[in-house]
């Protein structure tokens, strides 16, 4: 079986991968095609935008947090029923956590996906030729089939770029003009979303632009290759647990495969720390990351939910909290404005958004001969309190260097800045390891 499959790569971050991907997803959706979006790496923000543009929830493909076998399985599983698979790369095409390891190029090679490069053409013309040549020939086993240029000033500017492609032997598939309407401000690629920007409208605008300036039909033709085939599903390991997952505007950073793994444990129900005043009956609670710092008055004002969570944890309830969810369990959160708000109070410490500094990277948590991997990405920090760490746990980065990211434990609560990935296994294995 063949179908269009494309990985949108770039020479560097900031080239326009996300902009073009959102526009392409929306344009294909408008054509009546069923599109399955994927995202290379651990990002849980781009995937939300993909879902909005495509009308289909995106899936992370990450070869640090999961095995190559698992990545192939989920690509096949989610891509089988769609008309076209669109994968957005991460950083530059060959940028990984260790040379090419974990890079978009590694994913493209693993899955046999053709690559279309998006290049920033601002203040350059024929000099894109050696750049394209290098990307085409650095790893000949990769199929770099076409190029799209961003920030193009005019048709004459694009003519120079097209000539460079002809001399290199790669197809020029079109361009994205300089247009303030289709520039995502840098803060939207970070941890906050400006509510004044409507990403649904944004995707429509980009789709309309690229419909005029990009040869999408040719892109699909060049990227139509053999699909891996129908996945052979393993026997379901359906359990009988009831798992409550926080999901609302404040808490929504979660990997799709993590939720699928929870469904194998039993019934998954959702609740809102912003609006619900009581917890659903549950054997296990998951507080994912998100934007609690944008909803501090609402979270603090919902005393019913704060008390319910505190009572659940104090009586031995099993709970996993990640990043924003961990902050919510603290006694207080101080916002960027310096105002401090009361939170759940299970973890005797304070989180603050003051003096923000980005901390990010892959993490491997080791306890004896057991390991679990994940990703850390936040601007907040925790002021040390009295809460202890999980006994014997060591945390390393992707290069095997020890890092100071804590994994907190209180009764049957595990909390950390780390967004864990258990899509290849079971959340219970993670908790059993740490409790």
On whether the CB atoms of residues 327 and 415 are closer than 8 A, the answer is no
- CATH fold label, 241-434: Rossmann fold (3.40.50)
Q: What secondary structure does DSSP assign to 11-35, as a single string?
A: SSTTSSHHHHHHHHHHHHHHTT--E
Q: pLDDT tens-digit profile of 267-310? A: 999 999 999 999 999 999 999 999 999 999 999 999 999 999 99
Note down pLDDT in tens along the chain; length 435 residues. Answer: 899 999 999 999 989 999 999 999 999 999 999 999 999 999 988 898 899 999 999 999 999 999 999 999 999 999 999 999 999 999 999 999 999 999 999 999 999 999 999 999 999 999 999 999 999 999 999 999 999 999 999 999 999 999 999 999 999 999 999 988 887 765 444 444 444 457 788 899 999 999 999 999 999 999 999 998 765 555 465 678 999 999 999 999 999 999 999 998 899 999 999 999 999 999 999 999 999 999 999 999 999 999 999 999 999 999 999 999 999 999 999 999 999 999 999 999 999 999 889 999 999 999 988 999 999 999 999 998 777 777 789 999 999 999 999 999 999 999 999 999 999 987 878 888 876
Among 370, 377, 387, smallest CA distance to 419 is for 377
For helices 104-111 and 68-79, what crossing angle results, to 10°?
70
Domain ranges in the chain with CATH number 3.40.50.880: 241-434
Indicate the helix (H) or strand (E) that contains 205.
helix 199-213
Measured distance CA(208)–CA(218) in Å, rounded: 17
Q: Give the contacts of 19 (CB within 8 A, at least 6 positions apart).
A: 150, 176, 182, 183, 184, 206
On whether the CB atoms of residues 86 and 35 are closer than 8 A, the answer is yes
**CATH placement of domain 2-226:** 3.40.50.300
Domain ranges in the chain with CATH number 3.40.50.300: 2-226
Report in angstroms the alpha-carbon separations of 361 from 35, 108, 251, 283, 358. Answer: 30, 22, 20, 31, 10
Measured distance CA(116)–CA(166) in Å, rounded: 15
Q: Pairing between strand 370-378 and 381-383?
A: unpaired
Q: What is the pTM of this model?
A: 0.93
Catalytic residue list contains 323? yes
Which is the catalytic residue, given 165, 223, 313, 323? 323
Q: How many residues does the chain have?
A: 435
Torsion angles phi and psi, residue 111, rounded to 5: -105, -5
Report in angstroms the alpha-carbon separations of 97 from 36, 62, 204, 333, 363. Answer: 26, 11, 34, 32, 11
With b meaning 16 or more CB within 10 Å and e meaning fewer, what string describes 375-412? bbbbbbbbeeeebeebeebebbebeeeeeebbbbbbeb
Q: Reduce the DSSP state of residue 316 to 3 states and report it.
A: coil
């Amino acid at each position: 079986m063949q179908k269009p499959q494309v990985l949108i790569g770039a020479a560097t971050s900031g080239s326009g991968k996300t902009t073009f991907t959102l526009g392409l997803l929306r344009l294909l959706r408008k054509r009546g095609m069923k599109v399955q979006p994927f995202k290379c790496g651990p990002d849980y923000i781009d995937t939300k935008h993909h879902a909005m543009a495509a009308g289909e929830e995106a899936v992370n493909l990450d070869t640090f947090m999961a095995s190559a076998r698992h990545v192939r399985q989920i690509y096949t599983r989610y891509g089988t029923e769609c008309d076209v698979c669109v994968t957005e790369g991460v950083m530059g095409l060959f940028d990984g956590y260790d040379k090419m390891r974990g890079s978009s190029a590694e994913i493209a090679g693993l899955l046999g996906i053709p690559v279309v490069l998006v290049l920033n053409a601002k203040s350059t013309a024929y000099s894109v030729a050696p750049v394209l040549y290098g990307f085409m020939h650095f790893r000949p086993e990769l199929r770099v089939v076409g190029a799209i240029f961003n920030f193009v000033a005019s048709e004459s500017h694009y003519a120079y770029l097209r000539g460079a492609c002809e001399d290199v032997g790669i197809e020029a598939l079109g361009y994205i003009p300089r247009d303030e309407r289709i520039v995502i401000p840098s803060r939207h690629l970070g941890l906050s979303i400006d509510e004044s920007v409507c990403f649904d409208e944004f995707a429509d605008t980009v789709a309309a632009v690229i419909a005029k300036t990009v040869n999408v039909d040719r892109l699909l033709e060049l990227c139509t290759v053999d699909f891996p085939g129908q996945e052979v599903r393993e026997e379901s390991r359906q359990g009988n647990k009831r798992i409550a997952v926080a999901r609302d505007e404040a808490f929504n950073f979660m990997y799709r495969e993590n939720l699928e793994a929870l469904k194998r444990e039993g019934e998954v129900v959702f609740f809102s720390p912003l609006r619900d005043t009581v917890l659903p009956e549950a054997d296990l609670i998951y507080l994912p990351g998100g934007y609690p710092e944008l909803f501090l008055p609402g979270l603090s004002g919902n005393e019913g939910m704060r008390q319910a969570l505190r009572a659940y944890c104090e009586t031995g309830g099993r709970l996993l909290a990640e990043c924003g969810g961990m902050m919510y369990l603290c006694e207080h959160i101080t916002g960027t404005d310096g105002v401090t708000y009361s939170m759940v109070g299970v973890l005797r410490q304070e989180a603050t958004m003051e003096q923000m500094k980005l901390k990010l990277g892959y993490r491997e948590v080791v306890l004896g001969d057991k390991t679990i991997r994940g990703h850390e990405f936040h601007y907040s920090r925790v002021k040390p309190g009295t809460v202890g760490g999980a006994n014997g746990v060591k945390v390393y980065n992707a290069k095997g260097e020890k890092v100071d990211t804590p994994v907190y434990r209180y009764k049957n609560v595990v909390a950390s800045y780390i967004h864990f990935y258990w899509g290849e296994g079971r959340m219970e294995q993670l908790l059993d390891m740490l409790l």
